[in-house]
Structure 1
Amino acid sequence: MRINYNVYAEVNLDNLVKNLKFIQNINGNNKIIPVIKDDAYAHGIIEVANKFIDNGIQILSVGDINEGILLRKFGVRVPILVFGITPAENIDDLIKNDLTQTVSSFEYANIILEKLSRINKRLKVHIKVDTGMGRVGLIASDENFKIVNNICSNPLIDIQGVYSHFSDAGGEDKNYTVNQYKLFKMFCNNLSKLKLDIKYKHICNSEGSLNYRFDDIEYIRPGLSLYGYSMGKNYEELKPVMSLKAKVVHIKKANKGEYIGYGKTYRVDKESYIATLNIGYGHGYPRYLSNKGRVIVNNEFANIVGSICMDHCMIDITNIINIKLFDDVILIGSSGEKNIDAHEIARYGNTICYEVLCGIRRKVPRVYLEDNKIKYIREGYY
């Protein structure tokens, strides 16, 4: 199929569903709270949310209140958990949009309660417990359990859930992860003694749900794995959902000794053919790939040469035949037996695949595929 954009990302909704089913299958009776924060890891929050709901998902989680409100505007009606701390001025918007707020400290709980008492309204919340991540959350201690008891006993608080987060569930120190689980389980058991009706309890992220089985905690909360990646063991069953493509917009013959790109970082050592692609760091294609990365064109690898520009990058196509203007080039994705995934790109920059995926800018159109056909195109925006 030919797509008339110089740069675009394909989002394979069939692979999204396959990943969801795989995670469901290996986790038995655990129910899933998909993480769709940061525009569903740049895959498109509306489209991904609807596909999950079509496949039986009954609760979603987002990064901040704005993502939650956006989902409501587009007709999403399942419960939505907001991870980020919402300013007091926007608490009323949480209630208007039936969003569930994370409470991660006693100080924030007091701010919420002060606001709720002024407007005389009730707010749904999940309590965040820090069992070893060290980011946000109430430390899982007896003292803080008493604080949670005070929070939950307030009639303005509708406690829906309690959760924590593994810090290294894909790492070798399994004892640390198990100890996090034990702390969380102890905290949940203490809450149960209060006879609170807490529906949602969850601690397993992607690596937790892939590498551990904690069947006594009903919900899991995968993110990255739903989009086809894991940070630890490689799972063949996980299929990358997004590919990134750009078109050839210029082809030139370069003579020996010529420089390519800004800063004269690449010098042609023999007569070569250079193709320019209409993609650069302004689209979210990392500049650290300059003179290091590779792409796939006509089922062959081609090296990036010169410094990646804001809207362009150059590749050496000397040994690749039959290339013409507006041919598609794969920057993330596969063709035949050739493959470039987000892990490979991340390694060049000493970073992680999360950053690569989330870095693809929203100005890049998203082309949604289903049954190998275009289902929908989300135009790029700024």
Structure 2
Amino acid sequence: MKNFDRREFLKLAGAASLGATVGGSAPVQPFPALHHNHLADPWLEIDLKNMAWNLAQIRQRAGNRPVMAVIKANAYGHGLVETGKFLEKQKIDFLAAGKFHEALQLRESGVKTPLLNLGAFSRHEAEEIVRHDISQSVYTDDFALLAEAARKLKHSAKVHLKIDTGLGRVGVPHDRALPFIEKVAANSEIQIEGIFTPFTEDDEFDRVQLERFLEICEAAKQRGISVGRRHAASSAGILSFPASHLDMVRPGIAIYGQYPSVREYQARQIDLRPVMSLKARVMYVKTLRPGDSVSYHRAFVAQQETPVATLPVGYSDGYPSQAAGKAEILVQGRRWPTIALVTSNHTTINVTGAEGIKIGDEAVLFGKQGGNEISAEDVAAWAGTSVYKILIGMNPLLPRVYLET
């Protein structure tokens, strides 16, 4: 999908500014035919200068240790390849993908930065992993598939040992980790590039986890085994658990300008700047008469004359239906309440008191407009969910406009 520069985007946006006005006598005209979905449909703006800012803040907080940026789940909704390429320009030390197909897509797009696949892999994928110089998370005897592929391709396989110190999802259990490490290290075709563990983000138990992890690393060292870089700190650890920074840090959500929990958001130990904004354009305006209704099951019934504006955005785009009736949306720099339901493709706002809202006006579902801002955290709170789900839930097919200036 083509990405437009800001000048072209604003030029196109201006073409959509004509249309009916709230309270005007002219009949409402249909949304004009446009050639680019940026105007007819919702879009995401990805502020890359804010991403660079966040990375600099993380590096400083981590004492300039190497950084492995986690770009799983389509880079938390921000666009996998574009984010990977931008972070490569920022001289990121390592990237981490959530699944093999993400890692392969990054390599095939030309990303050359060291890259870890956090996900599982098959026998066929083992060969592709070695062939494309992808590092692989290992925690079962499937590492032998990598050794086999390495022998066939005459190229070493790089691995990071995943240790389960208490999160309990996947990873070699900490009390059985040393024999596993010895088994992996005995393979000359395999290069142990790193060892890592994920935390539960329970403060007291995280300290127990770190102690377990360091004991394993030390035991391997005593046996003459190099385990490479030790990494444990995700975004929460970077912000709240300095002892876990070790040899490399592994931020995810913080790269995208979001805090991992309410606690970190309130503490704001570093200044993170949101990278993503969700925008749309007003597609229809009208004034409801008393008794008129909006949406299925007459979810909203007007008690008096009520000017409303409809936006072409809904839960199919990733905007949460649970936010209906609680969320606010920016148009002309002011907050307007949502009414009725958030349906698959439409959201309606009450614009009582507006002056001249018209078809084509920009609407900001989260992001900044004028001197006002609605955050992704606000949307998450209205929907009773987490900011992770808001960002990752953005439809991959939504146009993404990348802003660097």
**Given the two structures, how large is their TM-score scaled by the length of structure 1?**
0.90
- SS, match of residue 214 in structure 1: helix
Equivalent residues in 2 for 1:132-143 (5 A)?
132-141=166-175, 143=176
Displacement after TM superposition at 1:290 (Å): 1.9
The Cα shift of 1:369 comes to 0.8
1:181 aligned counterpart, secondary structure: helix
The residue correspondences of 1:113-124 to structure 2 (distance < 5 A) are 122-124=156-158
Q: Distance in 2 between matches of 1:105 and 1:351?
A: 34
Find out whether 1:76 has 2:102 as its counterpart: no
Deviation at 1:314, TM superposition (A): 0.9
Question: Aligned partner of 1:186: which letter?
Answer: E
Q: Is structure 2 residue 146 aligned with structure 1 residue 109?
A: no
Question: Counterpart in 1 of 2:181?
Answer: 148
Q: Contact (CA 8 Å) 1:30, 1:215: kept in 2 or not?
A: no
Match of 1:378 in 2: none
Structure 1: how far apart are the matches of 2:132 and 2:377?
Answer: 37
Aligned residue for 1:347, secondary structure, equals helix
Higher relative contact order (CA 8 A, sep 6+): 2
Structure 2: 5+ residue runs without aligned partners? 1-9, 14-37
Instruction: Give me the whole-angstrom Cα distance separating, in 2, the residues matched to 1:122 and 1:266.
Output: 63
User: Deviation of residue 245 (structure 1)?
Assistant: 0.2
The reply to whether residue 64 of structure 1 matches residue 64 of structure 2 is: no
Aligned to 2:79: 44
SS, match of residue 229 in structure 1: coil
- 2:163 is aligned, of 115, 118, 129, to 129
What secondary structure, in the 3-state scheme, does the structure 2 residue paired with 1:244 have? strand
Q: 2:264 maps to what in 1? A: 233
Q: Give the 5 Å matches for 1:266-281.
A: 266-281=300-315
Structure 1 match to 2:284: 250
After superposition, what is the alpha-carbon deviation per residue over 1:244-270, rounded to whole angstroms, capped at 9, x for unaligned? 000001001101121101121111121
Write the distance in 1 (CA, Å) between the matches of 2:235 and 2:254. 6
Candidates 35, 54, 77, aligned match of 2:89: 54
Amino acid at match of 1:219: M
- From 308, 317, 323, give the equivalent of 2:351: 317
- Cα distance in 1 for residues equivalent to 2:245 and 2:364: 43
Q: In structure 1, what is the equivalent of residue 3 of structure 2?
A: none
| CA distance in structure 1 between the aligned counterparts of 2:121 and 2:137, rounded to whole angstroms | 9
AA in 1 matched with 2:120 = I
**Rounded Cα–Cα distance in structure 2 between residues aligned with 1:129 and 1:227:** 26
**Structure 1 segments unaligned to the other structure (5+ residues):** 372-382
Establish whether residue 91 from structure 1 lines up as the match of residue 120 from structure 2. Answer: no
Matched, 1:183 2:209: no
Q: Which residue does the alignment assign to 2:231?
A: 202
Identity of aligned residues (%): 29
With 187-196 and 27-36 compared, the bigger mean Cα shift is at 187-196
- The CA distance in 2 between the partners of 1:214 and 1:240, in whole Å, is 27
Q: Give the superposition deviation at 1:78.
A: 1.4
Tell me the residue number matched to 1:27: 62
Q: Distance in 1 between matches of 2:307 and 2:70?
A: 44
Query: 1:276 aligns to what SS in structure 2?
Result: strand
- Label 1:326 to 1:233 Cα distance change in 2 as closer, same or farther (>3 A): same
Matched residue pairs, number? Answer: 365
Tell me how far 1:120 sits from its aligned partner.
7.0
Counterpart CA distance in 2 for 1:206 and 1:281 is 28
Q: CA deviation at 1:93?
A: 0.9
- Tell me the CA shift for residue 177 of structure 1: 1.4
Question: For the aligned residues, what is the CA RMSD?
Answer: 1.9
Partners of 2:218 and 2:163 in 1: CA distance: 13
1:290 aligned residue (321, 324, 329) = 324
Out of 59-68 and 112-121, give the one that drifted further.
112-121
Q: 1:195-216: CA deviations, max 9, x gaps?
A: 3333321000000001121277
Shift, 1:52, TM fit = 1.6
Q: 2:360 aligned with 1:331, yes or no?
A: no
Pairwise CA distance, 1:356? 0.3
SS where residue 217 of structure 1 aligns?
A: coil
Contact 1:29 1:215 (C-alpha < 8 Å) held by counterparts: no
Mapped to 1, the partners of 2:228 and 2:219 lie a distance apart of 15
Separation in 2 of the partners of 1:147 and 1:368? 44
Measured in 2, the distance between the counterparts of 1:210 and 1:361 equals 29
Contact kept? 2:237, 2:244, Cα under 8 Å: no
After TM superposition, give the deviation of residue 35 of structure 1 in Å: 0.5
Which amino acid letter does the alignment assign opposite residue 365 of structure 1? P
For 1:303, the aligned partner's letter is: P
**Partner Cα separation in structure 1 for residue 296 and residue 62 of structure 2:** 50
The structural deviation recorded for 1:105 is: 2.6
